[in-house]
């Protein structure tokens, strides 16, 4: 199965740590990062899509917790 996640966080070290943790669990970057202003919180936010192929497993919507992979 191929898994997809979109990681987001405030534009600080938290975002970099979140992406680094995913990369170290075998996820790969997918596309370019995004950067946008959150008017409600009055902060900049970052986002990055990541993907991961898992052999021999079947995806079940709502049953597969993506962050566990």
Those residues whose C-beta lies under 8 Å from the C-beta of residue 61, and which sit 6 or more positions away, are none
Q: If pLDDT is split at 50, 70 and 90, which confidence band does 36 have?
A: very high
Per-domain boundaries in the chain: 2-55
Whole-number pLDDT of residue 58? 85
- CB of 1 closer than 8 Å to CB of 54: yes
Whole-number pLDDT of residue 45? 97
> How much is the mean pLDDT over the chain?
92
Predicted TM-score of the model (pTM): 0.85
Residue 7, pLDDT > 90, answer yes
Tell the residue number behind the tokens 């202003």, with chain if given.
37
Return d(Cα 59, Cα 17) in angstroms, integer.
27
């Amino acid at each position: 199965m191929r898994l997809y996640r979109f990681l987001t966080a405030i534009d600080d070290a938290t975002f970099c740590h979140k992406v680094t943790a995913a990369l170290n669990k075998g996820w790969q970057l997918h596309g370019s990062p995004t950067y946008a202003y959150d008017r409600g919180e009055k902060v900049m936010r970052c986002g990055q899509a990541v993907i991961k192929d898992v052999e021999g497993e079947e995806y079940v919507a709502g049953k597969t917790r993506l962050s566990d992979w």
